[in-house]
Structure 1
Amino acid sequence: MGYISIIFYGQARMKDRLPFNLRTPLVLWSGFLCIFSLIGSIVVLPEFYRTYKNHGFIATFCSDSFRHEKHVFYWYTYFTLSKVLELIDTLFIVLRKQKLIQLHWVHHALTMCFTFFTASNPPGTTRYMVGMNFAIHTIMYGYYCLTAMRIRIPRIISIMITGGQIAQMIMGLYIHSYVLMSIIFGFDSCDCSTRHCIAGFLVYALYFYYFVSFFIEKYVTGSGRHKQTAKQMDKPMIDTGSTPEHTTNKIIDLNNNNGLRMKSE
């Protein structure tokens, strides 16, 4: 609730203020999260592969054997803590007076809550949540870093990132459905409690709805003006990218003597 309150308080405070030009901090922040996610991927994905190779596909989401590899489990903890840091993404949007879509703050708030909910006793399904999220975020934050540097990225990359996020939700729905059925009918033994399984299924179902709706609106049925804007400066989900087009010709100069002055780029 504190996060959501700060969002709307911040937007109210910024209503009659000029947007901050935080391009350099955004480049550094996105670059940091990209590198962090890359290291996380390098650590946790090999364990994922070993589990699949030695014990089969079902074990990748039914077994919590990752707990026995300390260096891997440490990164599961870092992953949980990173969900608090990622709330800073929203701060950039508010201070730069960008459009804050509902999906952004719902996704950040709910992901943080669900991650901490599973942290005390992480089930086998956590392997997918952590591994997939690290992998997608490596690409996504790398994309944000480059666009904040004003490096033009082909539109197909944005589409692929959002598509990857949707695939992540589909996989999350599948594994939680399987585990839930195994609990109900007893045909398999999985290291996942009923409450974790139900919570995970509901979270992924909500995300699937949000992400698919976003994809359709942005890439399929968007207005002509919206599509033209997307071609010029496209963004995937959870946008913290560069300054929106309606403010690119007027930004705040923080380096002049007055501290705040409008100038044309």
Structure 2
Amino acid sequence: MAEVNPFSLSGTQHSQHWPSLVSPDWWLNKAFIAVTGQPKSAWRWAPGTTSFSTQRTVLTGVVLYLAMVFGGQAIMKKVAKPIRLKRFTQLHNLALTLISGFLLLAFMEQCLTAWRQNGFFFTICGAESWTQPMEILYYLNYMTKWLEFVDTVLLVLKKKNLEFLHYYHHSLTMVLCFEELLGRVSVAWIICSINLLVHVIMYYYYFLASCGKKVWWKEIVTTLQIVQFVVDLGLCYFCLYTHVTFHAVVPLPSVGADCRGTRLAAYYGCVLLSSYLLLFVQFFIKTYIKGETGSHLGFRPLNYKQEGEKTQKTE
């Protein structure tokens, strides 16, 4: 039965914490019913059964992605002109902006409520913080990483030079999201939420750029990505240390509690995010400090082009 007041929480499902029309959980439930005929509470992550839930699928996806990168670049060298799918690029960037924003709000609806009721430590380490509604969001976030492969396809078609950072980051982030699902890592909600916030800003920037708008704040996006990894690593290393010291044979200083998640997922996340931080800092220095593009954050380029010469746009 429909609610009399759509902005009332009376009679809502247990995972809905905001009024219906502004609740991502409410809209997700409607979408699940429309597509599958069942409420989203009936969905379960089942490795080996759920779509894209096997290690073989993930490995195959990475291999095919890298084959597309290098094979596509080789093919496009033989093509006279770049292929610019302007309208499709605009729609792709706008779609990822909206999807990222929706998932960010969905994480906030679940996690802010848990934080308020049980405290911050519970949300990043508590076993009970890994709920079925959260698992759906982790899975949907994981699926967006497959959709983001389209970014690379569009750049290859445009005959853009792809840096190592681009395809390294795209391919292994998908693997990281998969490992977080398998390892049931509670702190993953912060990693996902910050990443989604950055992606809202980043894909909106790409959307404006694809529409021909002059956007001056590209380096702010890179700065936010670096800040993202600093925060992620601080929390990830804290959670890993908390887990290791709780199970250590030799007594070590600890908070006296365990952190939810497998060590494999934790080790992989710490190593991968550390490499991201180093690579993004290197990219920032190369592009905005030693590079030849103007800066709006106070960094003075060390090299200068002749007056009037246009700089090549990088993506």
TM range (shorter): 0.7 to 0.9
Equivalent residue in structure 1 for 2:87, among 15, 24, 28: 24
Q: Percent identity?
A: 25
Q: Secondary structure at the match of 2:120?
A: coil
The farther-off stretch of 167-176 and 50-59 is 50-59
Report if the CA contact (8 A) 1:173-1:205 is conserved.
Answer: yes
1:145 corresponds to 2:207:
yes
- 1:120, CA displacement in angstroms? 2.8
Aligned counterparts of 1:177 and 1:227: Cα–Cα separation in 2? 46
Q: Equivalent residue for 1:177? A: 237
1:91-110 equivalences under 5 Å are 91-110=153-172
User: Which ranges of structure 1 fall in alignment gaps of 5 or more residues?
Assistant: 240-265
Deviation, 1:130, is: 1.5
Aligned in 2, Cα 1:198/1:13: closer, same or farther, shift over 3 Å?
same
- Could you say if the C-alpha distance between residues 37 and 90 of structure 1 is closer, same or farther in structure 2, counting changes exceeding 3 Å? same
Q: How does 1:63-74 map to 2 (within 5 A)?
A: 63-68=126-131, 70=133, 72-74=134-136
Name the TM-score, length of structure 1 as normaliser.
0.80
Q: Match for residue 283 of structure 2?
A: 214
What secondary structure does 1:168 align onto? helix
CA spacing shift, 1:226–1:209, aligned 2, 3 Å: farther
Q: Is the 8 A contact 1:218 1:226 kept in 2?
A: no
Shift of 1:34: 0.5
- Paired residue for 2:114? 51
Structure 2: distance between partners of 1:228 and 1:205:
39
Aligned to 1:244: none
Structure with the larger helix share: 1
Which of 13, 37, 40 pairs up with 2:100? 37
Report matched runs for 1:127-146 at 5 Å.
Answer: 127-146=189-208
CA distance in 2, matches of 1:82, 1:226: 39
Partner of 2:13: none
Higher RCO by CA contacts (8 Å cutoff, separation 6 or greater): 1
Shift of 1:74: 2.0
Residue 208 of structure 1, CA deviation: 0.4
Is the contact between residue 176 and residue 200 of structure 1 (CA under 8 Å) also seen in structure 2?
Answer: yes
- Alignment partners' CA distance in 1, 2:280 and 2:288: 12
TM-superposed deviation, 1:86: 0.7
Q: Take 1:28 and 1:234, find their aligned partners in 2: how far apart are those partners?
A: 20
The aligned residue for residue 85 of structure 1 is 147
1:191 aligns with 2:191: no
**1:158/1:234 contact within 8 Å kept:** no
Taking the aligned partners of 1:65 and 1:216, their CA distance within structure 2 comes to 42
TM normalised by structure 2 equals 0.68
